[in-house]
Amino acid sequence: MFKVKVLVKRRPSILDPQGMAVEKGAKHLGFNNIKDTRIGKYVEFTVDAGEKKSAEKEVKEYCDKLLINPNLEDYEFTLEEIA
């Protein structure tokens, strides 16, 4: 069994309207030193697989088919074996 943590980011070339909106709010509240806010996703789950290789394969498929928009986003993940 593996614990998986995935970071999903918009590609640098893709605008991030949510980040821009939050940052606009920040300016109104007086946060003038904060810039380049980009908001992505952080996904955690477990995979019940015996070997790391087969777990990685399943994680990639899960990301590609469900978690990620491949047109806009990149991702990276870590696997950690748990009891």
Tell me how far, at minimum, the Cβ of 53 lies from a second copy, in Å: 14
Number of residues that bind a second copy (CB under 8 A): 33
> Rounded to the nearest 5°, which phi and psi values hold at 82?
-125, 165
Q: State the Rg of the chain over Cα.
A: 16
- CB-count exposure of residue 13 (10 Å: 0-12, 13-18, 19+): exposed
58: enclosing H helix or E strand = helix 52-62
Does 51 contact a second copy by CB under 8 A? no
Does 20 contact a second copy by CB under 8 A? no
Tell me how far, at minimum, the Cβ of 13 lies from a second copy, in Å: 15
**Which positions lie near a second copy, rule CB under 8 A?**
7-9, 19, 22-23, 25-26, 29, 31, 33-49, 58, 61-62, 65-67
